[in-house]
C-alpha cells in the first residue's frame, strides 16, 4: 500500500465546525471525512444543477413511505377514469377528507410552504409575482383535483385564497 498523499486545507470557521460535528457524529478522522466528501461530490456532482431544497423534500417524502412516484400517464388515466365512474362523488369526498388531513399537517405553515411542497409532488410548477401565484399544471385533467385540494387545504388552514382557472393554469391570490 502506498503512503497517503498529504495536503493542507484551510477552512473557514463554519466549515471547521461542520467538520468537527461530522467527526463526532460518524466517529471518523478528518482525513476519512474529507475522502468521503470528495468521493460523494465526485459521484453526485451532476446533481449540482438541481434545486437541493426540492431534492431534500423528495428524499424526505419518499423515505417516509407516505408518497410514491407515479408516471403522469397513469395519474391522468386514474383521473379520467374517476370522472366517468358512476360513484365518482365518493372519490371527490374522500379527496376532500385527505385535503383536510393535510391542512392539519400544514397548520402553522404559510401558503408559500404548502405550494412549494405540492410543487415538489409535481402537481404543478409555480410562477410567483407580487404575492400572486400562477400554478402551471402538468395536464388539463389534473385541474379539478389540484383546485379542490388547494381550496380544502387553505380553507381548513384558515387562509382566504382566491383561485381562478385558466386553460392549463390556476391563479391564486391571498
Q: What per-residue confidence (pLDDT) applies to 45?
A: 81
Q: Which fold has domain 52-173?
A: Muramoyl-pentapeptide Carboxypeptidase; domain 2 (3.30.1380)
- The mean pLDDT value of the chain amounts to 92
Show me where the domains of the chain are located.
13-49, 52-173
Q: What per-residue confidence (pLDDT) applies to 104?
A: 96
Per-residue pLDDT tens over the stretch 99-154: 999 999 999 999 999 999 999 888 999 999 988 999 999 999 999 999 999 999 99
On the question of pLDDT at 26 being above 80, the answer is: yes
SS (H, E, C) 94-145: HHHHHHHHHHHHHCCCCHHHHHHHHHHCCCEEEEEECCEEEEEECCHHHHHH
Q: What per-residue confidence (pLDDT) applies to 53?
A: 81
- pTM comes to 0.76
Per-residue pLDDT, averaged over 5-16, amounts to 92
Here the cell at position 35 is 475522502
Amino acid at each position: 500500500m502506498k503512503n497517503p498523499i498529504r495536503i493542507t486545507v484551510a477552512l473557514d470557521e463554519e466549515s471547521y465546525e461542520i467538520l468537527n460535528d461530522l467527526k463526532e457524529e460518524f466517529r471518523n478522522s478528518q482525513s476519512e471525512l474529507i475522502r468521503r466528501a470528495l468521493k460523494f461530490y465526485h459521484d453526485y456532482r451532476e446533481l449540482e444543477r438541481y434545486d437541493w431544497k426540492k431534492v431534500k423534500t423528495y428524499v424526505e417524502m419518499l423515505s417516509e413511505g407516505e408518497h410514491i412516484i407515479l408516471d403522469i400517464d397513469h395519474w391522468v388515466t386514474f383521473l379520467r377514469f374517476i370522472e366517468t365512474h358512476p360513484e365518482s362523488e365518493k372519490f371527490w369526498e374522500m379527496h376532500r377528507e385527505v385535503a383536510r388531513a393535510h391542512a392539519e399537517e400544514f397548520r402553522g405553515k404559510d401558503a408559500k410552504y404548502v405550494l412549494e411542497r405540492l410543487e415538489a409532488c409535481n402537481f404543478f410548477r409555480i410562477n410567483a409575482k407580487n404575492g400572486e401565484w400562477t400554478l402551471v399544471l402538468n395536464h388539463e385533467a389534473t385541474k379539478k383535483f389540484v383546485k379542490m385540494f388547494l381550496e380544502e387545504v387553505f380553507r381548513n388552514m384558515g387562509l382566504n385564497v382566491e383561485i381562478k382557472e385558466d386553460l392549463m393554469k390556476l391563479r391564486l391570490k391571498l
